[in-house]
């Protein structure tokens, strides 16, 4: 703003300077025309005495040989007359500015005319000290005003910068204080400007970091718990077995128990490795063209005996010719996980599998008549190590990683997985995958 004011002031100064000089020059030209008309109507040089000068005006009439014939008003020495004569001889009319005696400043207009066919050089001038005084005062005012404006702008800028950078200092101090032990601390947001938006963005980032740290801590705790339990069982069973001699049958039972726990631990580790490779984008997928009906029929035939053992119905209705591009083994793992959950948690009734198309996508729905999932748990069931029913999950040796793996596999196939459930009425999972068309 201060620079704009200075530019405006300088522009005004030069505009006024130009205007004053232009006005002086116009007056000189006008007076020159009057004098030329008067002289040209004279019969001889003697009649030039009839001319009169205006206040603050000088009129000089020279012959071409440099002799001063007449002057009116104030007398001053005209410098460089030979150069003036040369230019007038060429038919030029022009302005000159000079400093006269007593350091007075004057502006002259030079031209020529004839009196009874005799050429003369006419020089008419005016003192311009008054104009220069006005301009000098204006320049001083502009200089002092400019200095004052710059000082004021500097002080104001310092104050504004100090006020502006205080929030930045607060943000820096808060950011430096925040560590993994106090991620619940937030930066105070007191405005809605750029700094306020920056603070809000940083707060959102800290919130995400806090959630990530909490998930990491929970992840570590869950892994430790899930691995410690089978290790404790293995240790206890081994200690008991080694305390005394046992029968072959007892040794077999102990080894069977140890084997089961080892398989459970191996299952956890395999799932963790799968998720770790998925996070690092290094998980390998073998994509081929698949007929979903064939894949589902294979899985249903595999699961039927397990449902029959539990006296549960397994209904299915599969639409034909729904082809997708995917990894067969990974998709089988994902769908088997959901079928296994339906088998595990459905005590009576049936499980229904459907395959149909909707909006150019294949939809696999798996519904059960189990206890359902509480509404508060629905948004969390795909989180790693999350269990809806902790007691029941532990008894079934659930890792809480199955649905997280299912979600990862489906998303890699550019699909979505959705769930609808109501307590006491059962649960339905929807796997939605893009269809490929020949």
CATH class, domain 288-434, is: alpha beta
Mean pLDDT of 42-65: 73
Confidence (pLDDT) at 395:
42
Spatial separation of the C-alpha atoms in residues 123 and 129, rounded to whole Å: 19
Instruction: Decide which of 44 and 313 is more confident.
Output: 313
Spatial separation of the C-alpha atoms in residues 118 and 44, rounded to whole Å: 9
CA distances from 21 to 14, 54, 108, 110, 140 (A): 11, 18, 11, 16, 19
Select the highest-mean-pLDDT range: 157-166, 267-276, 285-294, 388-397.
Answer: 285-294
Q: Where are the domains of the chain?
A: 2-134, 194-279, 288-434
If residue 361 lies in a helix (H) or strand (E), which one and from where to where?
strand 361-368
pLDDT at residue 354 is higher than 50: yes
Spatial separation of the C-alpha atoms in residues 158 and 279, rounded to whole Å: 49
Q: Could you tell me the fold of the domain covering 194-279?
A: Helix Hairpins (1.10.287)
Name the pTM for this structure: 0.53
Mean pLDDT of 219-242: 80
pLDDT at residue 332 is higher than 50: yes
Confidence (pLDDT) at 339:
93
Confidence (pLDDT) at 351:
93
Instruction: Decide which of 374 and 198 is more confident.
Output: 374
Confidence (pLDDT) at 293:
92
CATH of 2-134, one of 3.40.50.720, 3.40.250.10, 3.40.640.10, 3.30.450.20: 3.30.450.20
Confidence (pLDDT) at 292:
92
Confidence (pLDDT) at 44:
61
Q: What is the mean pLDDT of the chain?
A: 82
Q: For residue 379, give the DSSP letter.
A: G
**Given this chain, do its domains 194-279 and 288-434 carry the same CATH topology?**
no
What share of the chain in percent tops pLDDT 70? 85
pLDDT at residue 356 is higher than 90: yes
What are 63-89's pLDDT values in tens digits?
888 888 888 888 888 888 888 888 888
């Amino acid at each position: 703003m201060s620079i704009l004011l200075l530019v405006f002031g300088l522009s005004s100064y030069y505009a006024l300077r130009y205007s004053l000089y232009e006005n002086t020059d116009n007056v000189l030209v006008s007076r020159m025309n009057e004098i030329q008309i008067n002289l040209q109507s004279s019969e001889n040089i003697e009649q030039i005495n009839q001319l009169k000068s205006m206040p603050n005006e000088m009129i000089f009439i020279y012959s071409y040989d440099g002799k001063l014939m007449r002057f009116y008003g104030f007398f001053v020495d005209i410098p460089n007359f030979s150069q003036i004569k040369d230019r007038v001889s060429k038919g030029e009319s022009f302005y000159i500015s000079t400093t006269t005696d007593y350091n007075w400043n004057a502006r002259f207009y030079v031209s020529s005319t004839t009196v009874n066919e005799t050429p003369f050089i006419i020089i008419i001038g005016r003192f311009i000290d008054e104009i220069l005084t006005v301009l000098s005062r204006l320049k001083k005012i502009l200089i002092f005003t400019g200095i004052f404006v710059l000082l004021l702008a500097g002080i104001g800028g310092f104050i504004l910068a100090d006020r502006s950078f205080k929030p930045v200092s607060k943000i820096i101090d808060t950011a430096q204080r925040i560590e993994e032990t106090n991620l619940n601390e937030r930066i105070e947001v007191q405005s809605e400007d750029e700094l306020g938006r920056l603070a809000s963005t940083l707060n959102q980032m800290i919130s995400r970091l806090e959630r990530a740290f909490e998930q990491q801590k929970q992840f570590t705790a869950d892994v430790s718990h899930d691995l410690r339990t089978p290790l404790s069982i293995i240790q206890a069973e081994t200690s008991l077995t080694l305390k005394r001699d046992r029968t072959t049958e007892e040794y077999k039972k102990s080894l069977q128990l140890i084997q089961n726990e080892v398989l459970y631990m191996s299952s956890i580790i395999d799932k963790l490795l799968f998720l770790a490779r998925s996070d690092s984008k290094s998980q390998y997928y073998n994509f081929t063209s698949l007929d979903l009906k064939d894949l589902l029929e294979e899985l249903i035939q595999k699961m039927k005996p397990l449902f029959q053992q539990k006296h549960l119905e397994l209904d299915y209705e599969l639409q034909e010719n729904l082809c997708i591009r995917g990894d067969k083994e990974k998709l089988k793992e994902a769908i088997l996980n959901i079928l296994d959950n339906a088998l595990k948690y459905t005590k009576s009734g049936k499980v229904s599998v459907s395959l149909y198309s909707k909006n150019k996508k294949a939809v696999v729905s798996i519904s059960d008549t189990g206890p359902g999932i509480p509404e508060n748990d629905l948004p969390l069931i795909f989180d790693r190590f999350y269990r809806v029913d902790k007691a029941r999950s532990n008894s079934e040796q659930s890792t809480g990683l199955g649905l997280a793996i299912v979600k990862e596999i489906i998303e890699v196939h550019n699909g979505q997985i959705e769930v609808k459930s109501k307590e006491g009425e059962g649960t339905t999972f929807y796997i939605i995958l893009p269809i490929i068309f020949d």
